[in-house]
Structure 1
């Protein structure tokens, strides 16, 4: 049975101010993102994209206004609740940040153990599930240097999926990849949004993929956030 709309909303910002060192970067931010939705976040360097993402995952406290992510009130986050919020999120960066001296399996295991998984059988099952989802079954014992750039990013995405996130935040995930590999990663993220009913917010400078794979677009511009569903690039 489908969830009521209010339970499908993962990101709910109302007139939120986003600040860095007492300087307002974005003002009046009102934004909803729902489960299973795939959304692009675009804007020039310095437009506030990274500040918005940091606010969503609890690295930057919000200013005035209201904001909820995955059921957490952003204004009330503290040292104890930020890790709880992040367990409901998956975060993928441009730089892979994989542990170079560990296998793919051990990179995933590190995250599971850090988030208090204890049962070995359940851990193995979950690692197997996410590697299958990203098309890396059979690569468990490879180290990052033995993988292509696209495969390394797939490991990062698998790592982000381990705790079944409600929201996947991808910050320039194709920035270090060639166009063909970028397309593969983009298609993977869109499929994961649909198959897992996970919201995906993808920040990018790559207008080529936006043009080739249209979706809802949010723009940071002139200190505001504009929701341009019909925006043409």
Structure 2
């Protein structure tokens, strides 16, 4: 492990409802790295992601994410971890009664931003980064699915995360829009040195845009070390 390591898991066991889901998980992800996470439904992908963002404590082993020890997380320290992560889900989970700016502001205020000018500048920055500079005043229903997912990514970027954890972020999108979202996340990894762990069922994406692959299979995590399908 070095100072560019964002995720370091060693011998981690993951359980859901008392059942072992993944055993002896070893995983290292460094700053700026783009990694696919694949596996069948029920193979443990979402459980692994929940462990990384502090929603599911490990049942054994050692793990660090963005400098936080997973075994030592508690209600007081989990918010600190999550400020250093960006999480993007398949379901957009945007607040329908607020504008795009209102959705972003909600996160900033919840993570202790206080100064209005700084909040305005940061919201403008992230909307520019995802190609939505003119959409701050729109409500989610006025946006396409791809645009809504860009808002979700903008929201995830607000606190300058060290890693973006993306759980099936293109699952509800058509192929062309899926490619746009994928390329956006890969550009962010390259330009901002942000690691991205991208869980997907879409093997078409893996074939067209190869990168390192880790697989959940038979209760284990297998690292393909950059071998494309």
Find 1:192's aligned residue among 188, 192, 198: 188
- Is the contact between residue 210 and residue 226 of structure 2 (CA under 8 Å) also seen in structure 1? no
TM-superposed CA distance for 1:232, in Å, is 3.9
> Does the CA-based 8 Å contact 2:6-2:163 persist in structure 1?
yes
Residue 139 in 1 paired to residue 119 in 2? no
| Residue-pair matches, total | 229
1:38 aligns with 2:8: no
1:219 lines up with 2:206 in the alignment: no
Gaps of 5+ in 2: none
Tell me the secondary structure at the aligned position of residue 75 of structure 2: coil
State TM-score, norm by structure 2.
Answer: 0.98
Show the counterpart of 1:182: 178
Residue 79 to residue 204, structure 1, CA distance change in 2 (3 Å)? same
CA displacement at 1:63 relative to structure 2: 1.2
Secondary structure class of the residue paired with 2:198: strand
CA RMSD, Structure 1 to Structure 2 (Å): 0.8
2:160 to 142, 164, 173: 164
Deviation of 1:229 after TM superposition, in Å, equals: 2.2
Q: Could you tell me which residue of structure 2 aligns to residue 56 of structure 1?
A: 52
**Map of 2:6 onto structure 1:** 10
Structure 1 stretches of 4+ with a deviation exceeding 4 A read none
Distance of aligned partners of 1:100 and 1:47 in 2 relative to their CA distance in 1, 3 Å threshold: same
- 1:135-187 Cα offsets, whole Å, 9 max, x none, are 00011101101111100000000000000000100000000000000000000
1:19: Cα distance to partner? Answer: 1.0
Point out where structure 1 has 5 or more consecutive residues left out of the alignment: none
Provide the C-alpha distance between the structure 1 equivalents of 2:36 and 2:100, rounded to a whole number of angstroms. Answer: 28
For 1:134 and 1:66, locate their aligned partners in 2 and report how far apart those are by CA, in whole Å. 35
- Compute the displacement of 1:231 (Å): 3.8
DSSP-derived class of the 1:7 partner: coil
C-alpha separation in 1, matches of 2:156 and 2:175: 23
- Partner deviation per Cα, 1:163-213 (whole Å, 9 max, x = no partner): 000010000000000000000000000000111111000000000011000
Q: Distance in 2 between matches of 1:86 and 1:37?
A: 19
Q: Using the alignment, how far apart are the partners of 1:98 and 1:117 within structure 2?
A: 20
Q: 2:106 aligns with which of 105, 110, 115?
A: 110
